[in-house]
Amino acid sequence: MINFESDYTEGCIPEILDALAKAQKEQNTGYGMDPHCEHAAALIKEFFHAPDSDVHFLVGGTQANMTVIAHGLKPYQGVICAQSGHINCHETGAVEATGHKCLALPSKDGTITADQIEQLILEQKYNESYEHIVQPGMVYISFPTETGTLYTKDELQSIHDVCVKYGVYLFIDGARLGYGLCSRANDVKPEDLPKLCDVFYIGGTKVGALFGEAVVINNKALNKDFRYSIKQHGGMLAKGWLLGIQFETLFSNNRYMKISAHAMAMAEKLIQALKDKHYTFQFEPAANQIFVIMENAQINDLRTAFAFHTNGVIDKDHTAIRLVTSWATPEENIDQLIKAL
Q: What is the SS3 assignment for 107?
A: coil
Rounded to an integer, what distance in angstroms lies between the CA atom of residue 181 and that of residue 281? 21
Query: Smallest gap, in angstroms, from Cβ of residue 125 to a second copy?
Result: 12
Which residue number, 135 or 186, has a Cβ lying nearer to a second copy?
135
Q: Are strands 306-307 and 2-3 parallel, antiparallel or unpaired?
A: parallel
Give the HSE-up count for residue 211: Cα atoms under 13 Å, Cβ half-sphere: 12
Interface with a second copy in residues 2-61 (CB under 8 A): 3, 6, 8-12, 14, 17, 20-21, 23-24, 26-31, 59-61
Strands (E), 15-121: 54-58, 77-82, 102-105
Pairwise CA distance, residues 112 & 189, whole Å: 20
- Compare residues 118 and 161 and give the one whose CB is closer to a second copy: 118
Residue 186 or 319 having the CB closest to a second copy: 319
* Cβ distance to a second copy smaller for residue 237 or 264: 237
Q: 182-221 mask for a second copy (x: CB under 8 A)?
A: -----------------------xx---xx----------
Q: Answer yes or no: are the C-beta atoms of 274 and 61 closer than 8 Å.
A: no
What minimum distance in Å lies between the beta carbon of 9 and a second copy? Answer: 4
Phi, psi at 140, each rounded to 5°:
-115, 120
**Least separation in angstroms between CB 167 and a second copy:** 12
Our finding on whether 124 is near a second copy (CB under 8 A) is no
SS3 content of the chain, % helix, strand, coil (to 5): 45, 20, 40
Of the candidates 125, 231, 277, 303, which one interacts with a second copy according to CB under 8 A?
231
Determine which residue in the list 39, 49, 153, 239 makes contact with a second copy, applying CB under 8 A: 239
Count of chain residues binding a second copy (CB under 8 A)? 72
| Euclidean distance between CA atoms 36 and 257, whole angstroms | 20
Residue 133 touching a second copy (CB under 8 A) = yes
* Amino acid of residue 43: L
Residue with Cβ nearer a second copy (62 or 325): 62
Q: How far is the CB of 311 from a second copy (least distance, A)?
A: 11
To the nearest whole angstrom, how small is the minimum distance from the Cβ of residue 63 to a second copy?
3
For the window 163-182, what string marks contact with a second copy as x by the rule CB under 8 A?
--------------------
Distance CA 318, CA 66 (A): 36
70, 116, 133, 210, 284 from 288: Cα distances, Å: 29, 26, 38, 19, 12
Within 289-308, the residues that bind a second copy by CB under 8 A are none
* Binder among 233, 255, 262, 322 for a second copy (CB under 8 A): 233
**Chain-centre distance of CA 195, in angstroms?**
18
CA angle 240, 241, 242 (to 5 degrees): 90
- Report the residue number, 205 or 325, with the smaller CB distance to a second copy: 205
List the interface residues with a second copy, window 56-115 (CB under 8 A).
59-63, 66-67, 70-71, 74-76, 78, 89-94, 96-102
Q: Which residues contact 101 (CB under 8 A, 6 or more apart)?
A: 78, 79, 134
Which helix (DSSP H) or strand (DSSP E) does residue 132 occupy?
Answer: none
Q: Which stretch binds a second copy (CB under 8 A): 40-48, 222-230, 250-258, 298-306?
A: 222-230
Question: By CB under 8 A, is residue 227 in contact with a second copy?
Answer: yes
